Chains A and B, each alone.
Chain A
Amino acid sequence: MNFDFSEDEKLVQEQTARYLTDKCGTDAVRAVLEGNEAYSSDVWQGLADMGLMGTALPEAYGGVEAGYLTLCLVAQELGRAVAPVPFSSSIYLAAEALRMFGSETQKELWLPKLATGEVVGTVAVTEGLIEAAADNLQTTVSGGAVSGRKLAVADGGIADLAVVLARGDQGVDMVLVELSGSGVSRHAVETVDPTRDTATIVFDGASSEMLGEPGAGWTQLDRLYDRAAVLFAFEQIGGAQAALDMAVGYANERFAFGRAIGSFQGLKHMMADMYVALKLAESNCYYAAWALASDSPELPLAAATARVSAIQAYQLCSRDNIQVHGGMGFTWEFDCHLYYRRSNYQTLQLGGLSVWENKLIDALAAAA
């Protein structure tokens, strides 16, 4: 049994970590938080220079073809750094959708540009204050013209290209829309995590191309999300680890009642529980990484399991990191809220905890 990442895979992780530590400290995250820019274009360019967007993409389409295991470890570092860049939307979702369902022409046109980061992609699904589902989509597509409103689109303000879910003649279609074209208007929206660009996009007869099979849009989205969930989960455990490290660091330095607060069992046990949640999630992420990289039929169960435990771990670690910091943890000045915001934002992307609990049980029942 070799249930571990290879030296080559870990090397890419270390390089990514080194770069992000150097160039994507919390000052870079805070520049986006404060609204100085929609995303960190410097970090995005730096990641592009390292070829990281193309990590898992085929060489034939401008990628590095270093595999999904490597991409998982890159994701873990992006999560640890709370990186304010559209990596997840563009790579785990848009590029992956194109790779899975795109025609040869579509792949040749878009993947090389996504791999270099010169084009940013995203997925537009959510329309209202309800979990999106195949039977509640209002956006329509007819004769290639898309009309409707997508309420919350991650990186929707900066993306050039969107994978849009819309109701067509044969059911839900997955279509590709260039956001610079006519019939597209968008505006930034305020969210719980301002370090991530988010927009409402209104389509009014915008032209689109079919991605994959007509009427198969929602099934395709499910398959896409199973893969993306693994990468999101790695970002989440990266963030959870950073929040736990921050809590431990503070508990060692901060004194009260004449002793370091980390010596109090009330806090020590809380941090032990954060560690336990994180390690369960981490091990589940390893398994999901294996399932993703090996195209295993176990992917739906493995991905849901990793996603559920990664959501739990990141929410717990970011929440209790604030608790360890006491009042200082609730200040804008301390970085605790960066993890708290990101963990709750990422929880709801791809469908929230209850959605993934349901997917997990469906996969479990199907396997039994």
Chain B
Amino acid sequence: MDFNDTPQEAEFRAEARAWIAANAPAHLHDALASSTFGGLNTGGEDPIEVSKDWQKKKAEAGWACLMWPTEYGGRGASPIENVIWNQEEGVYGKLSSMFIIGHGMCGPTMIAYASEEQKQRYLPKLASGEEVWCQLFSEPHGGSDLAGLRTRAEKDGDEWVINGQKIWTSGAQNSDYGILITRTDPNVAKHKGLTMFFLDMRSPGVDIRPIKQVNGQSGFNEVYFDDVRIPDAQRLGAVGDGWRVSLTTLMNERMAIGGSIPTGVPELLELVQSLAKDGGSAIEDPAVRSKLADWYAKSAGLRNTASRAISALSKGDIPGPENSIGKLVAGGLMQDVAKFGMDLQGFGSVLMDPKIAEGSARFQAMLLRSPAVRIEGGTDQILRNIIGERVLGLPDDMRADKGLPFNEIPSGN
């Protein structure tokens, strides 16, 4: 047991480190490092512009989408090299947030299902950040129950006509393309009547409306489709095979290595060491110690679980099922930590002004961001179902829609 790189890994790390030192936008370092939860601080510069600049620079030198084949703009790197790159990229990795969906989910789906010509056309520009992609999956009636989605696609000659609504689409307002899952046959069971496409987000009939969130930001959108036409050539996978295609996308999301999901624990430690309480430092208070110990142990557990996953990748293995606990633990942890950090500071901590609130209002930002972490990409409840059923092997829940054609499934309001 050790924490050392293999010689090849060390060589790769040195190369990555040297390139980053020579090329990263160092003037943004401190601003990026101080970015609070759910926000990106680029020191007053346009976040989209600086993100695209860094992505383009990486792509030109072969440091974008490392695991993709080189002919599509990647590096053909191994999973462990990708992990090492992410470690070395450090705070500059925050500039990738607007590309995460495109690189992590749309790209791998295109690699698996698009034609060779399409791959040549779209993937390099996706990798370089020149074109931004989004993923149009969730709907008002299909979130946790994704396969309950209702957006229709009807064949008309060589084209499909799309009508319906998507929601919670991250980054749609900045996107050039998107992958879209639709219902093409409502007369069969819900998983069987779905078909996947990709489309130009500027197609006539696409209407994008940002959603104002609890924390005042608008990362998510509603996207309306009103007779939007998509060429059949932009279908991904067979008609009726959309569920299987979507699993390819979601599997790529689950391969992402946890441990980097923020928990707020380091911030809380810093706070209680500096904060005065009852004539001493807050860290001397027994209640603080007990809670901090519990939360530290959980955050350390996440970090050490990530190390196990990285070790598996280093050996060429697939990370074990324990890797599935990351977001479930981190989301609730961040929420608890935020509340406690504010509790320690009294009523004054309701203030959100970053010039007044402790640490540029980081606990306040955590408080208002954390509810989303517990929902996006699988709610806490769905994640517990996944752990229960796929990891522990417990039986599926009883389903009221099992075997029914989609159009006969009870739908409430």
Question: Which of A's residues lie within 8 Å of B, judged by CB?
Answer: 1-6, 69, 244, 248, 251-252, 259-260, 262-265, 268-269, 271-273, 275-276, 279-284, 286-287, 289-290, 293, 304-305, 308-309, 312, 354, 356-358, 360-361, 364-365, 368
Contacts and interface: CB of A to CB of B under 8 A. Distances in A.
Contact of B297 (A273, A275, A308): A308
Contacts of A358: 289, 293
B1 A252 contact: no
16 contacts: A3-B2, A3-B308, A265-B388, A268-B388, A268-B397, A272-B392, A273-B384, A279-B322, A280-B325, A283-B301, A305-B300, A308-B293, A312-B294, A357-B289, A361-B289, A368-B269
A276 B386 CA distance: 12
Given A272-B385, A286-B307, 10 more contacts: A1-B2, A1-B9, A1-B307, A2-B2, A4-B311, A251-B394, A272-B383, A275-B391, A282-B322, A361-B292
B328 A259 contact: no
Contact of A5 (B1, B297, B392): B1
B220 interface: no
A203 B344 CA distance: 49
B297 A305 contact: yes
A70 B393 CA distance: 29
Given A6-B1, A282-B322, A252 B269 contact: no
Given A5-B1, A269-B384, A280 B302 contact: yes
Contacts of A293: 1
Contacts of A287: 300, 304, 307
A285 B296 CA distance: 14
A357 B290 contact: yes
Contact of B301 (A244, A265, A268, A309): A309
Interface of B: 1-5, 9, 269, 273, 283, 289-290, 292-294, 296-298, 300-302, 304-305, 307-308, 310-312, 314-315, 322, 325, 328-329, 381, 383-385, 387-389, 391-398
Given A3-B3, A4-B311, A284-B300, A272 B395 contact: no
A246 to B, nearest CB: 12
Given A276-B329, A279-B325, A263 B392 contact: no
A275 B304 contact: no
B393 A252 contact: yes
B277 to A, nearest CB: 14
Given A286-B308, A357-B294, A272 B3 contact: no
B260 to A, nearest CB: 15
